[in-house]
Structure 1
Amino acid sequence: MHEEKLRILQIAPPFLPIREDIVYGGIERIVWYLDRAYKELGHESSIAAPADSSPLGKLEPTINASIGDFNTFNREGTFLRIEHIAETIKHANSGFDVVHAHDDNLLPFLSLIESPSLLTLHSHYPDFWQSKNHPKLADETKNLNLVAVSHALKEQYEKDGFSVRFVVHNGIEVDKFIYADKKRDYLLSLGLISPTKGVHYAVQTAKSLNKDLIIAGTIDGQCGEYFDEQIKPHITHDISDKEDKLGGYLSLPKGGRKIVYVGGVNDVQKKPLFANAEVFLLPTCLEDSLPTVVIESAASGTPVVAFGRGGVPEMIEDCKTGFIVEKGNLGGMINAARESASINPKDCRKFAEDNFGYKRMAQDYLNIYSQIMEEAHSKTF
């Protein structure tokens, strides 16, 4: 275990506030978990983030409020991103022992940070981060401390000419998730609603199996047409105005297959949805790096049926905690969802406990902090 107490600065992206009741935001949730772990271990934890954040540690504010929709590339949004980066560099160079960035827009500026620093890569943007577009930056990454959240993500960046030193899987507070042995008779789709997340596959799977489907998630700002044309026509009940999402579903009239839209969900609302679902469907069409929802489902004792994209196969023990299906194989997803009753919920929970706890994630990062601090110290002598 790491004994030395450190002054740690995490740098969050500018899009969403860092706080406990995050409705959507995978990266922001990881920053929150690390902040909590560092505080519990007695470290001095700070976060550079928009001023509407409420971390457990000290907030180092960057911009007045989070930008919001990360798909908005207007002039104001671009200016706010630049302001956020400028402010984070100021905070980073104010005497921290280690600086841990989670915003890949900081990659070109990482060398400007005076303290030992690292950048966690949470996603991959193949049209942008390629050595042919940024040959000098790609070469400079040989001297930077880049971390990927999955081995698959590390391979993707390395194929594009970037050097990634470490891999740390994300973690969650497993014991905070409701565990249930007995499941209710519905399938669950939970996450951002967009064509790349493949929600239409979940709809088709539920209809083929004549099962209820609960769709939980916010609609991507640029994907209203997708929702209106491919998802909304199949929805039998919209209870997005209900605070109690599971209770709202259970209060619907019995009989007949239902496809229920419950809207975006926070931590309190999603936990009973995960715990009571027969199976969680994740038909993502992206090379998703390490989607946290897979861990959350396992922690709830609920098997996952997912397309085997990106780091997803690193998060599922095939045929024991869920099923990995070839991308786009609707028939495979239908068959796997049908077979999910063979999965023991206890195996799902144990897999999450053994491999994806937030304290394990924090310790992995602390070990990296120690390594890069020692390397930086040796260079000064």
Structure 2
Amino acid sequence: MTNAPRFPLNAWYAAAWDVDIKRALFPRTIAGRHIVFYRKADGAVAALEDACWHRLVPLSRGRLDGDEVVCGYHGLAYNAQGRCTFMPSQETINPSACVRAYPVAERHRFVWVWPGDPALADPALIPDLHWNKDAEWAGDGGTIHVRCDYRLVLDNLMDLTHETYVHGSSIGNRAVAEAPFETTHGERTVTVTRWMTNIEPPPFWAAQLGKPGPVDRWQIIRFEQPCTIAIDVGVAPAGTGAPEGDRSQGVNGYVLNTITPETDGTCHYFWAFARNYRRDDQALTTQLREGVSSIFKEDEEILEQQQRAMAANPDRVFYNLNIDSGSMWARRLIDKAIAAETAPSRLQAAE
């Protein structure tokens, strides 16, 4: 087994939904880093290394005092910048007493954290999931803790032919596995485009469209390095112009996914489904959230079984088909980002 890193650190990762971070200590492991989050009195989010400078006890076992975190073991206090402001039984504070503070940002209903070099934490690099907080779209989502390598979730989302076999009772039918597709890529993105014309809609989409007859269906999967995937999905009555750009007769949704590695074998999977129809129908929003959650539960079971099989067969390798082109390019971009971070250390080791 290789000890090479499996995820880049110089990247924005979703740490939580914005509503999950309150005036309380919220611990989470992100890319192998133990971090504690909390909201300050002004509403801004702070993120500190979850280990006291003194004896490494998790700060998340302590408490908030104003905007400072007080260790629950000996009472050392740290401000939002990670600097120790109080030590018990002494007036002089050791100048080295600090914990790491991580760059954080709020966007698209998520709290994002940058676990790598803080000097490189450019908010412009936060992945685009704007549909999750856009007046023209309505939706909701959730979080799944999956016991698998985060890249397996990416593989699953970049190749949707599995819908035919894993989700046949809801969103899948044979057209997904049989339709041609096109894969393109850039410096940070990979796109897989699939159109299925004049087909019978699967149960989920037939219910959303509410019209009889065959449909033109689309799936446009866009990966953004290192681990965010937005999927443009929908159906329109066959022959009404959707493949040419006129989707006005159909229904359109976005499946929003950002996967945050926790450890080498576990990850946090943040997802949402946004739609541009019946936006004021809260009952539909709840119904869709629960329905999509059930679909993703089927994926979770498959992925965890796959991870267990990989652990039981460490010398086995993956074989790729044409349908894997999207995930192969996504992994190449991830590997490229990792290599860019690790190259300097390799050069130093050689010296």
TM-score between both structures, scaled by the size of structure 2: 0.29
Higher strand proportion (structure 1 or 2): 2
Give the number of the structure with larger relative contact order, counting CA–CA contacts within 8 Å between residues 6 or more apart.
2
Higher helix proportion (structure 1 or 2): 1
Report which of the two structures shows the higher radius of gyration computed on alpha carbons. 2
